[in-house]
Amino acid sequence: MARDRRHEVKRVLMVALTINVTMTLLKMVVGLASGSLAVIADAMHSATDALSSLTGLITNGLSDPKPDRDHPYGHHKYEGIGALAVAGFIFFTAIEILITSGERLTEGLPELRINATELLLLLLVLVFNLLLASYERRQGRRLNSQLLLADAHHTTSDIWTTVIVLVGLTGAWLLKISWLDVALAMPLAVLLIRVCWQVLRDNLPWLVDHIAIAPEAINEQALGVPGVLNCHDIASRGILGQQVFIDMHMVVDVDDLVAAHQITERVEERLESHFGPVRCTIHLEPRDYAEQVITFRGTHG
């Protein structure tokens, strides 16, 4: 059974929430003081970082890996739903940047009020974002947490937006070119939409029960156990390395129920040692039920 990682995930998300709230406030102060659209948009992006961390804390509390009466397959999908919420926040930010940029272009470009202190504050924000993204990604991989990895994607997008904003404001300050602010704000939307797609790509497959392990790989491991003659109707879902559910039909070279059960247990142990945490449902069948097609077809019970 997968170990409960929620306490460790919660600790990481609390750190992320605290940093993101602080970064949002710093950017908003700089944006309002300078009148920069790019900085205000970047501050809003940091606000969605904070909101995604808060959403993560809520969904992490619900994502108990242990099954119960109402959730016999555990609660892992709450984590994926939280990651999709992060993607929604990213998409919302991209749309807002595009709308506001369009308004600035049609209504006229205001004069920016930038000084060296504000640029240094943004540089400090950038350093903290780099440290936070690295921390979340490292912990997400260690804990096999899709939620932390999604949040790390979001934080990484914040790094790029802050870099673009710094370049634009430095140019506007040194060269007195106000349109650089809007010109660099609009590509932020493209970056954010790309990050949104990455989060969707990583989480939608296992939420819709896409195959977790190739049937050929499961079949190869099962046939490595003495007494197994044939495997077919193999199906799997879940997240490899975190929790995978495997269903399959298996033909064994014994007629005794106790011996067949022992073979089944050895197959389960072999699969778990090779693929990580798995829960197997194995349907034993007589010899004349052997089939050549191993993928799931559901043609017989």
In tens, the pLDDT along 54-101 reads: 777 766 665 555 677 777 777 677 777 877 877 787 788 778 878 877
Q: What pLDDT is stored for residue 59 in this prediction?
A: 63
Structural contact between residues 95 and 189, judged by C-beta atoms closer than 8 angstroms: yes
Range(s) of the domain holding residue 225: 215-289
Selection from 83-92, 181-190, 252-261 with the highest mean pLDDT: 252-261
Domain boundary among 180, 206, 232: 206
Q: Are residues 184 and 43 in the same domain?
A: yes
Q: Are residues 69 and 128 in the same domain?
A: yes
Domain boundary among 155, 173, 206: 206
Q: What pLDDT is stored for residue 247 in this prediction?
A: 94
In this prediction, residue 1 has a pLDDT band, given cuts at 50, 70 and 90, of: very low
Q: Are residues 57 and 195 in the same domain?
A: yes
87-100 pLDDT, tens per residue? 787 788 778 878 87
Q: Are residues 221 and 197 in the same domain?
A: no
CATH of the domain at 148: 1.20.1510.10
Q: What pLDDT is stored for residue 300 in this prediction?
A: 58
93-147 pLDDT, tens per residue? 778 878 877 887 787 766 677 788 888 888 998 999 899 999 999 998 888 887 7
Phi/psi at 231 (5° precision): -130, 140
- Domain contains 239: yes
Tell me the average pLDDT across 186-201: 80
Q: Are residues 175 and 272 in the same domain?
A: no
What would the two tokens of residue 225 be? Answer: 């156990």
Tell me the average pLDDT across 151-163: 81
Tell me the average pLDDT across 204-223: 89
Q: Are residues 179 and 226 in the same domain?
A: no
Q: Are residues 95 and 199 in the same domain?
A: yes
Q: Are residues 72 and 148 in the same domain?
A: yes
Number of domains in the chain: 2
Percent share of the chain, pLDDT over 70: 91
- Domain contains 295: no
- Domain contains 299: no
Q: How far apart are CA 101 and CA 107, in angstroms?
A: 10
Greatest Cα pair distance in the chain: 86
Q: Are residues 188 and 285 in the same domain?
A: no
Q: Are residues 31 and 179 in the same domain?
A: yes
CATH of the domain at 233: 3.30.70.1350
Q: How far apart are CA 230 and CA 33, in angstroms?
A: 71
Scan for tokens 């555990």, then name that residue: 74
Q: What pLDDT is stored for residue 64 in this prediction?
A: 56
Domain boundary among 206, 223, 255: 206
In this prediction, residue 163 has a pLDDT band, given cuts at 50, 70 and 90, of: confident
